Chains A and B, each alone.
Chain A
Amino acid sequence: MKEKQKKFTTVSIPTALFKKVEERIKGTGFTSVSGYVTYVLREIVAEEEKTEEPFTQEDEERVKTRLRALGYID
């Protein structure tokens, strides 16, 4: 039988923190503590993965060529 890829897993956080988060998300669009924690963690992970140089030299040349062809760099 083909094993279905598991999309979610469980992590443990202190109950007190859970309760605090539960309070915090009341009245916002976050419907669960899991949803909020996932959002915050994704932000942090993405921030860490972010590089100061978003384009490699090759990328930069490609984009410049495109921008010239589009009339934005003349």
Chain B
Amino acid sequence: MSERKVLVIGLDCAPPELLFTGFVDGLPNLKKLLQHGIHARMKSSHPPITIPAWMVMSTSKSMGKLELYGFRHRKPGTYNEILLANSYSVKEKTVWDILGEHGKKVIVIGVPPAYPPRPVNGYLISGFMTPSTEKDYTYPKELKKEIENLVGEYVPDIVFRTEEKDKMLKQLHETTEKRFKVIEYLMENKPWDFLMFVEIGVDRVHHAFWKFFDKQHHLYQPGNKYENVVKEYYRLVDNHIGKLLKLADKNTTVIVVSDHGAKRMKGAFCVNEWLIKKGYLKLKKKPEKTVSLEKAEVNWGKTKAWGWGGYHARIFLNVKGREPQGTIHPKDYKKFRKQLIKDLEAIRGPNGEKWDTQVYTPEEIYPDGKGNYPDLTVYFDNLNWRSAGTIGYNSPYLSENDKGPDDAVHSHYGVFILYDSSKEQGKKIEDINLLDVAPTILEVMRIPVPPDMEGKIVKEAA
């Protein structure tokens, strides 16, 4: 029997609502995989964001074990200093590390955090946290030249928070075209047993264009010129996937995954503005215009809690002995936190409507957690409202994002599709978890699953 190869197609942010139902009829190649393979909704990490979600998937280790809680971590003992996640932040072995140890040739493209490029038994291209294309962003280094000979400048990502939609859309298509050209080239010209890539453009198109197609979005305008942009982008990706499927031989199992889902954004909730109103955060001086907390004059000696923005909120408590000007005595920590959780859960929407806000303590979501996690993780109205960290508003509710246009938020379920051309399955299976992907890949490739992997093998794939 020939040895199985695996091709993993990562579509950052692709939600089951669009991929399995909404857009699927216009996507012949993904539809084929759905109709003949198995598919499931895939539960993302807490919180459902790109970093750490892709690494939870690639290592089958929870965030607490990975000590990876987001793109940035707070530098211990500081209020505003941050540490950025990078490829070396990941101490656990990825599935491609394990495959490499077994002599399998791997190609890995843009699986975040991927900068600096780490060595693999094959080829690796870094992703969107590459500081500039002047840097070495490939392993081995020589691959960079090969890529640039093929497509010119290889820009891993675009900036989507802009009003210059047409320009951004052009860049998005160009970036995606180049990425697939590189993938096709590597598939045809390099030896590989395992190839995984992440197309980050799917996330970007959601955030930039969601309000233009989703009739339920509060900013949707019928007949707008960008109505079909998201659907057309999915078609572009599907068309390229079709080309990859032709390049993959019959011994290749194809897996399509996303790190989290997406849904329309209802608005942004200014977490620090709310903390000020509740008396938990004190300023020396009210800002005259909107500013980030790091630029505001905070009276830390009287502050009990402060927050960070993002698709979810991270809240930190100002604890004596832990923070430079701590105000909460460690013996009062749990009591204070309990009250704050109660207050956060009681927040209602701008019209007094009830919200489904979830607040998590580190003990609940990172039971084996170490490193720099926040004291509370908050999903305002089940992530429908993103968290804005800036202050200087009359109301904590913003109908648009505080820092440039953004129409979508993240949701808890991404997608999983597995297609093996030798099997006729065509069925939806029970929900799986990001943690289940790596052991399933190893099982398909007949490599022993390390006992410390936290996920389960998807039995229908075996």
Is A69 a contact of B387 with CB atoms below 8 Å?
A: no
Cβ-based interface call for A37 (8 A): no
Cβ-based interface call for B119 (8 A): yes
Complex: chain B residue closest to A32, CB-CB: B103
On whether A50 and B88 interact (CB within 8 A), knowing A62-B132, A63-B131, A74-B389, the answer reads yes
Tell me the minimal C-beta distance from A24 to chain B in angstroms. 10
Is B403 a contact of A68 with CB atoms below 8 Å?
A: yes
Tell me the minimal C-beta distance from A68 to chain B in angstroms. 7
Residue among A29, A42, A46, A67 making CB contact with B71, cutoff 8 Å: A67
Chain A residues within an 8 Å CB radius of B99 = 29
Is B103 a contact of A35 with CB atoms below 8 Å?
A: yes
Cβ-based interface call for B412 (8 A): no
Is A28 a contact of B102 with CB atoms below 8 Å?
A: yes
Chain B residues within an 8 Å CB radius of A42 = 119, 140
Q: Give the one of B3, B121, B160 with max A CB within 10 A.
A: B121
Cβ-based interface call for A55 (8 A): yes
Cβ-based interface call for B374 (8 A): no
Chain A residues within an 8 Å CB radius of B70 = 72
Is B159 a contact of A62 with CB atoms below 8 Å?
A: no
Cβ-based interface call for B309 (8 A): yes
Complex: chain B residue closest to A46, CB-CB: B119
On whether A74 and B388 interact (CB within 8 A), knowing A29-B104, A54-B115, A62-B131, the answer reads yes
On whether A29 and B102 interact (CB within 8 A), knowing A63-B129, A69-B159, A70-B159, the answer reads yes
Cβ-based interface call for B259 (8 A): no
Q: How large is the interface on A (under 10, 10 to 19, 20 to 34, 35 or more residues)?
A: 20 to 34
Residue among A47, A58, A71 making CB contact with B401, cutoff 8 Å: A71
Number of residue pairs across A and B with beta carbons under 8 Å? 98
Tell me the minimal C-beta distance from B48 to chain A in angstroms. 13
- The secondary structure that dominates the B interface is loop
Is A54 a contact of B159 with CB atoms below 8 Å?
A: no
Is B161 a contact of A36 with CB atoms below 8 Å?
A: no
The proximity string for B residues 27-54 relative to A, scoring 1 for CB distances below 8 Å and 0 otherwise, is: 0000000000000000000000111000
Is A29 a contact of B193 with CB atoms below 8 Å?
A: yes
Is A72 a contact of B310 with CB atoms below 8 Å?
A: yes
Is A39 a contact of B132 with CB atoms below 8 Å?
A: no
Tell me the minimal C-beta distance from B54 to chain A in angstroms. 13
Chain B residues within an 8 Å CB radius of A73 = 71-72, 82, 309-310
Cβ-based interface call for B301 (8 A): no
Complex: chain B residue closest to A42, CB-CB: B119
Is A70 a contact of B119 with CB atoms below 8 Å?
A: no
Q: How many angstroms between the C-alpha atoms of A19 and B225 in the bound complex?
A: 68
Tell me the minimal C-beta distance from A74 to chain B in angstroms. 3
Chain B residues within an 8 Å CB radius of A31 = 103
Complex: chain B residue closest to A29, CB-CB: B103
Q: How many angstroms between the C-alpha atoms of A47 and B139 in the bound complex?
A: 13
Is B118 a contact of A46 with CB atoms below 8 Å?
A: yes
Chain B residues within an 8 Å CB radius of A72 = 49-51, 70-72, 310
Chain A residues within an 8 Å CB radius of B308 = 74
Q: How many angstroms between the C-alpha atoms of A50 and B128 in the bound complex?
A: 20
Chain B residues within an 8 Å CB radius of A60 = 84, 131
Cβ-based interface call for B433 (8 A): no
Chain A residues within an 8 Å CB radius of B121 = 39
Cβ-based interface call for B390 (8 A): yes
On whether A74 and B102 interact (CB within 8 A), knowing A63-B131, A66-B159, the answer reads no
Complex: chain A residue closest to B50, CB-CB: A72
Is A28 a contact of B71 with CB atoms below 8 Å?
A: no
Q: Give the one of A28, A68, A72 with max B CB within 10 A.
A: A72
Is A59 a contact of B71 with CB atoms below 8 Å?
A: no
Tell me the minimal C-beta distance from A34 to chain B in angstroms. 12
Tell me the minimal C-beta distance from A14 to chain B in angstroms. 22
Q: How many angstroms between the C-alpha atoms of A55 and B85 in the bound complex?
A: 10
On whether A74 and B135 interact (CB within 8 A), knowing A60-B84, A66-B159, the answer reads no
Tell me the minimal C-beta distance from A28 to chain B in angstroms. 4
Tell me the minimal C-beta distance from B55 to chain A in angstroms. 15
Residue among A30, A45, A66 making CB contact with B129, cutoff 8 Å: A66
- 17 examples of A-B residue contacts, CB within 8 angstroms: A29-B105, A46-B119, A55-B131, A58-B131, A59-B135, A63-B84, A66-B157, A67-B129, A69-B161, A70-B128, A70-B161, A71-B207, A71-B401, A71-B404, A72-B49, A73-B72, A74-B402
The 9 closest A-B pairs by CB, nearest first: A29-B103, A74-B309, A30-B103, A59-B131, A46-B119, A28-B103, A72-B71, A29-B104, A62-B131
Known: A71-B386, A71-B406. 13 other contacts (CB 8 A): A29-B103, A35-B103, A42-B140, A46-B118, A46-B119, A60-B131, A66-B128, A66-B129, A67-B72, A70-B159, A71-B310, A73-B71, A73-B72
